[in-house]
Structure 1
Amino acid sequence: MTHEAAGVPPTRNDDDRQDDDRPAEPQPAPEAAASAGDAAPRPEARLAKAVQAAEQALIEFEIAVETFRVEVENFSRLHHQKLGPMYARLDELDAQIAEARAAKTGDPEDLRKAKEARDIVMPMPGVDELFHDWMDSDGLSPEASAMLTEQPVRPPKRVRPSEEARKLYRELARKAHPDLAQDEPERERRDEFITRVNAAYGRGDVELLKELAAEWAAGPAQPLAPLSESEELYARLEWLSRRKELLTVLAKELEEGAIGSMLRMAPDDPDQLLEDIGEQLLGEVSRREAELAELVQ
């Protein structure tokens, strides 16, 4: 083992002592040493990175909200299409049961209940025919919108689009999201494109999503944005924050709504939930039919 390895200071020879007697060479100033290495990033550059991270986070949040919104809308429409007739049948049976009971008893209270039950089954004359399949809680139905825009009517096939459709949608939303636009013309172009992407995803149209992906890939490339001034970057961060607040409100409304609450009961397979509800309604129909049969005997 050497002295150095053992921690003992080595013995210096005369050359070493002569070197000690030489004047020390000037050392570079701290500022000069720092400049020799990597320059510290400008505050605006760090802020630009923060803006970019906030943009990506917002886009991911919007994708999640839009995905859930599509499921809520599709579940609502398929719930109406598949189960609406069963609900109508239950209302009719309730009215018939109430009328049969009132006919037996002649009690004024039973007569009142029978009239109320029948009023539920018979809406205001002409209204249902006039607005049938043209109006929903949010305005025009997709079928009505398609008629007005001369587009083919393509209702959703399932509550949740396929995994392939969801993957294509996420990729397109991340690439073409309007929040990535740097000027108004580019934002308008992206708005129009994402509107078509959302419509195709809502229907679960994989082939159309593939066509849209090819269309975007062939379009003009988005140029890299030059470094913005700190005031502009701060304003951008504020806008992203406000946008996230609005999306948070929308997400909460979707989750707390009647359909959203039902979807949370079956997050893995909402389509099976529709089937389960349908079976329950069939059981209710059978029980009411049996009750009505007893009353009219």
Structure 2
Amino acid sequence: MPTSPNDEDPQDEARPAAGREEAAETAGQERPEARLARAVRVAEQALIEFEIAVETFRVEVENFSRLHHQRLGPMYARLDELDARIAEARAAKTGDPEDLRKAEEARSVVMPMPGVDELFHDWMDGDGLSPEASAMLTDQPVRPPKRVRPTEEARKLYRDLVRRAHPDLAQDETERTRRDEFIARVNAAYGRGDEAVLRELAEEWEAGPVAPQPELSEADELYARLEWLSHRKELLTEVAQDLEESAIGAMLRMAPDDPDHLLEEIAEQLLGEVSQREAELAALVQ
């Protein structure tokens, strides 16, 4: 249990202050470079943890963006096509120059109407509808499209590898180059969610050359190191901000624990909008 100042032993006040003064004097003799070196190490570790967080979020955004495009892209394309057809039907009825202009504008931004194969992605093959497509048409549960999502073990391996092999821990250009190349392989494996390769990389790093221990340098070099670390953090902050402010990043922030459910909700909303547009178009062409 933590003690308050009032709980201190009264005998402490009677003890000679020589010991405390000696300890204070010893602490006061610490070289400024030693304090700077500790600050550098703390800043390095903080930067590495921050970079891990940014890279993890980048992979999540990339994977979610891929899934978003795969599942919802054809729906957005169909909505655009229906909007163009509605505008064209309205312009054909009224002949109004403004309606004609709007119809041309709507058509200019529309891609071709997605075909059945695009709407079903890989749910249709040479033998006809896949089981997933059949389930979709009969309102049965549908297996979602394949998605790359690193397992918890893969995330653990990734974080450990980055902490140990990060290029910022190198003390010379040769070591930095080696670490840069290794971390590039680590990032690629993590982006694929390849836990087996991450394990192999962990074994490879364990068997590799031992990085030299950091050696205290002069104050000006330590200050330069701190300045570089600060600049690197600013760059990463900008990257993180861009990711968070992107459309996909904003969607992930809305449902960080269950992004798949968010996609399902958006899909339902889009299907409702498609039905409304189809009804509107049907009324115009009657």
Per the TM alignment, residue 106 of structure 1 is displaced from its structure 2 partner at its CA by 2.0
Determine the C-alpha separation between the residues in 2 that align with 1:215 and 1:119: 54
* Amino acid paired to 1:231: D
The one-letter amino acid of 1:61's match is: F
2:158 counterpart of 1:176: no
Equivalent AA in structure 2 for residue 191 of structure 1: D
What amino acid is the match of 1:78?
L
CA distance, structure 2, for counterparts of residue 62 and residue 188 of structure 1? 18
Q: What's the counterpart of residue 270 of structure 2?
A: 281
Residue 188 of structure 1 aligns with which residue? Answer: 177
Q: 1:79 to 1:38 in 2, by over 3 A?
A: closer
Structure 1: gaps (5+ residues) = 1-28, 124-155
* Alpha-carbon spacing, 1:96–1:85, altered in 2? closer, same or farther (3 Å): same
Q: Distance in 2 between matches of 1:167 and 1:58?
A: 18
* Equivalent in 31, 36, 41 of residue 30 of structure 2: 41
Counterpart selection for 1:165 from 154, 159, 164: 154
Give 1:75 deviation, angstroms. Answer: 2.0
Letter in 1 for 2:168: D
User: What is the deviation of 1:169?
Assistant: 1.2
2: CA distance between counterparts of 1:212 and 1:283? Answer: 48
Q: Which residue of 2 aligns with 1:256?
A: 245
**Structure 2 contact 148–193 (Cα < 8 Å) conserved:** no
Moved >4 Å (runs of 4+):
37-40
The structure whose Rg is larger is 1
1:40 Cα deviation after fit: 4.3
Other-structure match for 1:220: 209
Local SS of the residue matching 2:211: coil
Match of 1:246 among 224, 228, 235: 235
| Cα separation, partners in 2 of 1:242 and 1:267, compared to 1, 3 Å | same
Q: Is structure 2 residue 79 aligned with structure 1 residue 115?
A: no
Q: Match of 1:231, SS?
A: helix
Name the aligned partner's letter for residue 95 of structure 2: G
d(CA) in 1 for partners of 2:273, 2:182 = 46
Question: In structure 2, what is the equivalent of residue 99 of structure 1?
Answer: 88
Indicate the RMSD between aligned Cα atoms, in angstroms. Answer: 2.5
- Gaps of at least 5 residues in structure 2 are 1-17, 113-144
Amino acid in the other structure paired with 1:278: A
* Residue number in structure 1 paired with 2:5: none
Distance 1:84 1:93, change over 3 A: same
